[in-house]
Amino acid sequence: MKKPTKERILEAATKLFLRDGYHATGIEAIISEAAISRMTLYNHFKSKDELIIEVLNKRHRDWMYRFTSFVESHAKSPKKQLLAIFDALQDWFEDEDYYGCAFVNAAAEFSLRDPENQALRIAGEHKHDLEAYILKIAKAAEVEDSQKLTQQICLLIEGAITSALIYENSNSAIDAKETVQQLMNSKMGVA
Amino acid sequence: MKKPTKERILEAATKLFLRDGYHATGIEAIISEAAISRMTLYNHFKSKDELIIEVLNKRHRDWMYRFTSFVESHAKSPKKQLLAIFDALQDWFEDEDYYGCAFVNAAAEFSLRDPENQALRIAGEHKHDLEAYILKIAKAAEVEDSQKLTQQICLLIEGAITSALIYENSNSAIDAKETVQQLMNSKMGVA
DNA sequence: TACAATTGATTGACCGATCAGTATATAATG
DNA sequence: CATTATATACTGATCGGTCAATCAATTGTA
């Protein structure tokens, strides 16, 4: 086995949490998927909750890296990067094991009444970081209202993520991209 | 007690499933919330799975009724109704017990690998019905491309639902509304 | 009006299965 | 030999679901 045990556990857990849900995935399933034994898992993580937290933290790093790498390698000018965002999403949605956003799913599954919940905190931070990244590009693109455009792009990103999952709309990323294009072309005109 | 027992159970289950999640909500919590005993629940529903299905079916009816009623009572012309959609969302988001969309949450929680899963089927049907309703209005509004506008509105609806939950953005519905307004004003112009 | 019979809803005790987590013993590694 | 990781068996708690007894209300009969 090449990969460190801890990494194997994290990858197995990530796959199952995404595919089957956080609550529905038991310890048994994780150790089976990672091909390790029970105590090995508890040697690396002190509880399932902590495993969930580490999975989400790692997912945040991995996802942001993949996302930003795609955007910056597929487009050079900030304006084109704003559109390339949706090519990155399209690339993601085409994964055979696309099961939605780990953070949106976590927000759906963990009770929002618990403000102490770490998973929810990480989910919020993830979306915040994503928004900050887009705002940075939007400002570099020198669009009319970078703040507003960023909000609109974020809305469309979230919409595309959900639509790709539930509507089984394989074009949601493309639809969102065209919409952003249309918004950037329009000279504004709120009623 | 005025309300029928079955209805009380459905309301209690709906509240808890939404707030705490489908898996995390146990039978014990439901019968406690509904102030009934265990067998009373199983007398009305043969299993938790069936209860979930009935909750979702009822939620679909109730949600669509509230949504369409709001839209149609707050705007008369189809064009204005397309914008009133987001006022309806805003109204929904302001519920003190807004915990996201029951169907999006269900899709997040139940394994998408199981194509037989009833909950996922209902979630898909719900979104399909919602889209059909919007398309009907869009056609009546005689916009340039009603099909495309409908897709865009659906993307923005889903985005607003998620953003209201995770970003804790209380303006997501308003942002989405302004975006639709901007899209309707723009004379198109894809690159 | 009286009273028993029937029926349907409700209850608390209980079932096996499975949950997250642990104790202990063994095997591998330096 | 010392240390670390692994495997097996087990814990108490909780899961969804069931059973048999009981309660309440209604009905039939006189």
pLDDT for B109-137, tens place per residue?
997 777 778 888 999 999 999 999 999 99
Q: Taking the model in full, what pTM does it have?
A: 0.93
User: Which of A19, A23, A158 lies closest to A85 in space, CA to CA?
Assistant: A158
Predicted confidence (pLDDT) at residue B177 exceeds the cutoff of 70: yes
Left if phi > 0, otherwise alpha if psi is -120 to 50, otherwise beta: which for B116?
alpha
**Averaged over A171-178, what is the pLDDT?**
96
Nearest nucleotide to A5 by CA–C1' distance? D5
Percent of chain A at pLDDT exceeding 70: 96
Predicted confidence (pLDDT) at residue A114 exceeds the cutoff of 70: yes
Beta strands in chain B (DSSP E): none
Q: What is the DSSP string of B31-79?
A: HHHHT--HHHHHHH-SSHHHHHHHHHHHHHHHHHHHHHHHHHHH--SHH
Question: Which carries the bigger pLDDT value, residue A144 or residue A86?
Answer: A86
pLDDT for A97-108, tens place per residue?
999 999 999 999
The mean pLDDT value of chain B amounts to: 92
Burial A9-33 (b: 16+ CB within 10 A, else e): bbbbbbbbbbbbbbbbbeeebbbeb
Nearest CA distance, A149 vs chain B (angstrom)? 9
> Out of B108, B111, B189, whose CB is closest to A108?
B108
- At B187 the three-state DSSP class reads coil
State phi, psi for A124 to the nearest 5 degrees. Answer: -60, -45
Q: Are the C-beta atoms of residues B99 and B19 closer than 8 Å to each other?
A: yes
DSSP state of B114: -
Q: Are the C-beta atoms of residues B51 and B42 closer than 8 Å to each other?
A: no
Write down the pLDDT at residue A1.
44
| Identity at B143, one-letter amino acid code | V
pLDDT band at residue B187 using 50, 70 and 90 as cut-offs: low
Matching residue, tokens 């799913």: A105
Cα A177 from Cα A90, distance rounded (Å): 10
Predicted confidence (pLDDT) at residue B191 exceeds the cutoff of 70: no
CA angle A79, A83, A88 (to 5 degrees): 135
Q: Which residue is nearest to nucleotide C8 (CA to C1')?
A: B43
Q: Are the C-beta atoms of residues B105 and A165 closer than 8 Å to each other?
A: no
Cα A83 from Cα B184, distance rounded (Å): 20
Distance A176 CA to C13 C1' (A): 57
pLDDT band at residue A191 using 50, 70 and 90 as cut-offs: very low
User: Which of B73, B61, B76 lies closest to B10 in space, CA to CA?
Assistant: B61
Cα A146 from Cα A134, distance rounded (Å): 9
User: Which of A174, A176, A131, A133 lies closest to A154 in space, CA to CA?
Assistant: A131
Contact between A183 and B186 using a beta-carbon 8 Å cutoff: yes
Tokens in use for A189?
């005109």
